[in-house]
Amino acid sequence: MIVGLTGGIATGKSVVAGELKKLGAHIIDADKIAREIVEPGKPAYNDIVNEFGHGMLQPDGTLDRKALGRAVFSDPAALEKLNNITHPRIRERIREEAARLSAESDGLIVLDVALLIEMGVRYEVEKIIVVYSDAAQQLERLMKRDNMTRDEALKRLSCQMDIKEKLKYADYLIDNSGQLDETIEQTRALFGELEGLKNIKKGT
């Protein structure tokens, strides 16, 4: 069984993914894939350098993700160009990994994808989990986590689907506005429910 895990940036999605992994789920991390596909020499890396220039590189030749982020999150056209380079490759890798895991195991497979809805990956999953938190809390977490100014964080948030819109796609919700142990408790309960659903589908 394949489920999608998504939510707004800095809402605590990684906490939920980490707990699901501890419980035995297989996690496919889209952020990890996104970093891998832009390693030097990879096709996406070459396309990004050709499109945005060598100014987006670190001295060692690796992609300067912060510089690229500053360039695209203040320019919708530039962001669209970047997404057109990376998103198809990320989707392809997700499909490949999901197919491999499905063939190797009957365990729960979780696609951890921040842009699950926006990228069309929702069509690859049977159920969708959305993690959310209070908007002010989300902004504060993002500023602290990524060392951003308030304006930078607001620009980054404005580039994502509004969480209220994302919630409409949810089969399951996890509220991460409270304490960590409350989020863990919700995650464990949800894992049990998904395991039960998976077993019913298998006829066991």
| Tally of helices (H runs) and strands (E runs) in the chain | 9, 5
Assess whether pLDDT exceeds 70 at residue 61.
Answer: yes
pLDDT computed for residue 201 by the predictor: 80
Using CA atoms, how far residue 132 sits from 10, 77, 173, 175, 178, in Å, is 9, 28, 8, 5, 11
Tokens of 45: 């890396």
Phi-psi bin for 61: left (phi > 0), alpha (psi -120 to 50), beta?
left
- Mean pLDDT for 46-56 is 97
Q: How many CB atoms lie within 10 A of CB 108?
A: 20
Tell me how far CA of residue 67 lies from CA of 71, 73, 74, 139, in angstroms: 6, 10, 11, 21
- Distance (Å, rounded) from C-alpha 57 to C-alpha 55? 5
CA separation (Å) from 16 to 1, 147, 197, 198, 201?
A: 18, 22, 19, 19, 24
Task: Please check whether residue 120 is in contact with residue 91, taking contact to mean a CB–CB distance below 8 angstroms.
Answer: yes
pLDDT band of residue 204 (cuts 50, 70, 90) is low
Query: pLDDT confidence of 198, banded at 50, 70, 90?
Result: confident
Tens of pLDDT, residues 154-176: 988 888 898 889 999 999 999 99
pTM of the model: 0.91
Task: Check: CB of residue 183 under 8 Å from CB of residue 12.
Answer: yes
Domain spans of the chain? 2-199
Query: Considering the chain, what percentage of its residues have pLDDT values greater than 90?
Result: 86
Q: Average pLDDT, stretch 111-129?
A: 95
Question: Is residue 184 scored above 60 in pLDDT?
Answer: yes
Q: What is the mean pLDDT of residues 48-66?
A: 96
Chain mean pLDDT for the chain: 94
CATH fourth-level superfamily of 2-199: P-loop containing nucleotide triphosphate hydrolases (3.40.50.300)
